[in-house]
Structures are given as structure tokens and as C-alpha cells.
Amino acid sequence: MRVLILGGDGYLGWATAMYFSNKGHEVAVVDNFTRRLMHLERGTDSLTPIKLLRERVEAWKEATGKTITPFIGDIRDWDFTSRVVRDFKPEAIVHYGEIPSAPYSMIDVHHAVHVHENNVNGTLNVLFAMHQFAPESHLIKLGTMGEYGTPNIDIEEGYIEIEYKGRKDTLPFPKQPGSFYHLTKVHDSNNIMFACRIWGLRATDLNQGVVYGIETDEVNLDDRLLTRFDYDESFGTALNRFVVQAVAGIPLTLFGKGQQTRGYLNIRDTLQCVELAMLHPADPGRMRVFNQFTETFSVLQLAQAVKEAAEKLGISVEIAHYENPRVEAEVHYYNPTLSHLPDLGLQPRYLQEQLVESMIQRVVQFKERIITHAIVPRIRWKEGDREDQVKITELEK
């Protein structure tokens, strides 16, 4: 299958590109290096020393004999996006090409607007390009479980049948996202739903949980093929950051008591889920929604799992409770449905002590590269003011 991966230089994008290429698909990646630029801005970096995209593609060719075609450009640029879709004629478009950071979107007005422009406008270009140049292709769009927030009812997969005053309808599930970043994903979902309805496009919206893990079969072939691994306050996710904190001897940062519960999955399961979506494409005309996670944990549970695994390896770990920089319910009901992906055959890899230990060992390999200044969260939801940010950035230096 011809697969176009948007954001193919990123954490999941590069791992997905190699995974599909290895399985014999014809893979092209699109990237404009937004993530690398943002790390320069924040003074942070991937824990893993990642190669330039050009070098990655060459190393992949050397290691496997297979070709991954890079298209360098910005999906907000219609001329670029429309040409790529017209010329490559993808059968599937896996769309990771968005800025995925809640804290980054909350820095100030400029960051909030930038995340909107990048995510929402970029996706509009992709939809129009599909409509005009690849109307049969299947959009596999990475959304987030964070679109739903934490309602006091079960979270269904994208839609809910509502019975109200004696009448019934199946309607989009009401969403209460928790940051401007999460809001852009909701805006995307609404725009994609509409584009499917009016143009008969095929799309699957993957409402993904928090991804953890550093290794895939392809990453493990050669250190030049490593995918990025972020642990900073903007781009690091809970388990990944905890492991780095444990190795760096920094207390694990919990917000409040750490009872916020979310869905999680292994990076290998992300690849499996995206593949299942691709091999079973959505019908034209109605956006399909899959919740994509394998387990739910409270942040405290994850911290404890890291502490236990680290201590087995002789690393002592502290857990610190910080004032929550976000505005969110600490104690809440959380019961998301997970049935579409298991129905398609998802075989979850649950979080086990060995996995955490192996993550810790991989992180130890790159211990010298850990940058500590931006692990503890400083971006506060209630502020939203550039002045403070500039000051903080100066202080860090």
C-alpha cells in the first residue's frame, strides 16, 4: 500500500515509517522539522541522539534495502501539500503532523495561535488535497483521548446515542478538552467529520492515550535508526519523563496527589493500532473514531511502577508532589470504552516491570545527554502571559 506519513520525522512518525516500510509498504514521509525547531526554542532536546532525516533514510536503506521517500515541507503550504498528495497518490495518509504539546500551547497567545494555525490549518489543507487529488485515500488521523476531558459518564468512541425527552439520536460525543492543544484536536475532529460528510472522504480519528516506550523492532536494528524520546515539560509524556527523572536522580513530578487517570499504551501498540486501522479502512462518508489505549493508570501508579523498577536496578527514587500547573479535576470518574481496536484484533502489550526496567536501561545508555532544566513544569495554565515566560527562560540560563 502507498502510505504517506505526515510528521514522519517525529517520535511516532519515524517509528511508523520504518514499521510499514519493513512490512513491504511504499512509504513516504512529510516533515518540516517543527519539533526540532521547538526544542531549539525551549532549550531542550531528545534524549536519544537522533540523526537528520536524510541520514535516517540512508541508514534505513543500508539496514534493510528499503526506501522511505522524504518530502520536506509544511502542510500549511497548499502548494506543497497538494503536490505531494497529487504526485504520491497515497492510499493511506497517517497524520501525525501536528504540534502535540499541551504546555507549549499554553505559554502565551502567540503559542496558542501558532498551535492552532499549525494543527487546524494544516489539517484543512490535507482534507482539501485528499478531496481534490486522492478522494479514495484513507486518512488515519492522530487525535487524543484528551479531547474528551473527564466527563462523569462513560466515554464512548467518538459518538454517543442520546435519549432525550422521548427522542433519540446518535451524536458526536461532547468534548471538554483541557488545553489549547487539545482544543485544536477537537477542532480537527469536527472539521474532518464535516469533510467526510460533504465529500465522502474516508477517515479514522484515533483518540490516542499517552504513549510510552523507546524501543520498536526497527529502532533496535541500528542506533542510527533511533526515534526521538522527549522528557521535557513540553513534549515529554508521563512515563517517559519519570524514567528519565529516575535515572537523572530528580524526584518524579506529580501534580497534586497524582490521581489524574488517563489511558496509556506502548509505542509498539501505537504501530499495531495504526496498522489495524489502515488494513481495515473506514467507509466513505462518515468519520470513524477509535479510542486507542490499552490500560488506564493514575499518574501516581505510574510513578510507583517506575520507582519499584528503578530500585530493583539499584537506583533510588523520590516522588515529589508539585502544585498542579494545569487546571483539571484531580479526582474524577474515568471509564473510556475500548472495543473497536480489540474487535479488529489488537493484542495489547501491557505495562510490565520488565518493560520499565528495559526502558530504564535504555535511558541509562544516554544518561550523559539528559538536560535537567526543563523537566520540572513551569508553564502555568492560569498565566498565559509572554512576559513571565521570557523571564523564566532568562532565569534558566
- Catalytic sites, residue numbers: 144, 181, 185
* CB 217 to a second copy: min, Å: 38
Q: Which residues pair with 211 in a beta bridge?
A: 265
The residue among 76 and 268 lying less far from a second copy, judged by its C-beta, is 76
Please pick, from the candidates 40, 52, 72, 327, the single residue that binds a second copy as defined by CB under 8 A: 327
Q: Where are the alpha helices (DSSP H) in the chain?
A: 11-22, 34-42, 53-64, 78-88, 102-105, 109-116, 122-133, 180-199, 238-248, 267-279, 299-312, 340-344, 353-365, 386-396
Contact status: 186 vs a second copy (CB under 8 A): yes
In Å, what is the CA distance from 98 to each residue of 56, 209, 229, 278, 381?
Answer: 21, 16, 17, 19, 21
Whether 82 and 35 have beta carbons less than 8 Å apart is answered as: no
Whether 360 and 247 have beta carbons less than 8 Å apart is answered as: yes
In Å, what is the CA distance from 329 to each residue of 152, 195, 261, 393?
Answer: 11, 33, 10, 28
The residue among 213 and 377 lying less far from a second copy, judged by its C-beta, is 377
Please pick, from the candidates 141, 175, 202, 268, the single residue that binds a second copy as defined by CB under 8 A: 175
The residue among 179 and 294 lying less far from a second copy, judged by its C-beta, is 179
The C-alpha cell at 369 is 545527554
* CB 76 to a second copy: min, Å: 8
In Å, what is the CA distance from 50 to each residue of 185, 345, 358?
Answer: 27, 32, 19
* CB 146 to a second copy: min, Å: 12
* CB 248 to a second copy: min, Å: 31
Whether 28 and 68 have beta carbons less than 8 Å apart is answered as: yes
Residues 191-230 interacting with a second copy (rule: CB under 8 A): 191, 193-194, 197-199
Cell 489511558, residue located: 263
Contact status: 70 vs a second copy (CB under 8 A): no
Burial (0-12, 13-18, 19+ Cβ within 10 Å), 32: buried
Tell me which amino acid residue 164 is: Y
Contact status: 333 vs a second copy (CB under 8 A): yes
Nearest to 205 by CA among 126, 94, 91, 115: 94
Please pick, from the candidates 70, 73, 172, 348, the single residue that binds a second copy as defined by CB under 8 A: 172
Q: What track of x and - describes contact with a second copy for positions 342 through 381 (by CB under 8 A)?
A: ---------------------------------------x
The residue among 32 and 245 lying less far from a second copy, judged by its C-beta, is 32
* CB 152 to a second copy: min, Å: 4
Contact status: 390 vs a second copy (CB under 8 A): no
User: What are φ and ψ of residue 198, in 5° steps?
Assistant: -85, -30
Residues 108-167 interacting with a second copy (rule: CB under 8 A): 108-110, 112-113, 116-117, 120-121, 124-125, 128-129, 131-132, 151-154, 160, 162-165, 167
In Å, what is the CA distance from 44 to each residue of 107, 219, 329, 397?
Answer: 16, 22, 29, 12
Residues 6+ apart with CB under 8 A from 223: 49
Contact status: 331 vs a second copy (CB under 8 A): no
Please pick, from the candidates 20, 60, 180, 235, the single residue that binds a second copy as defined by CB under 8 A: 180
In Å, what is the CA distance from 239 to each residue of 61, 349, 355?
Answer: 32, 15, 11
The residue among 33 and 381 lying less far from a second copy, judged by its C-beta, is 381
Stretch that binds a second copy, among 17-25, 85-93, 172-180, 341-349 (CB under 8 A): 172-180
Whether 209 and 157 have beta carbons less than 8 Å apart is answered as: no
How many chain residues interact with a second copy (CB under 8 A)? Answer: 54
* CB 151 to a second copy: min, Å: 5
Note the residues at the interface with a second copy (CB under 8 A).
Answer: 78, 108-110, 112-113, 116-117, 120-121, 124-125, 128-129, 131-132, 151-154, 160, 162-165, 167-169, 171-180, 183, 186-187, 190-191, 193-194, 197-199, 327, 333, 381-382, 384-385
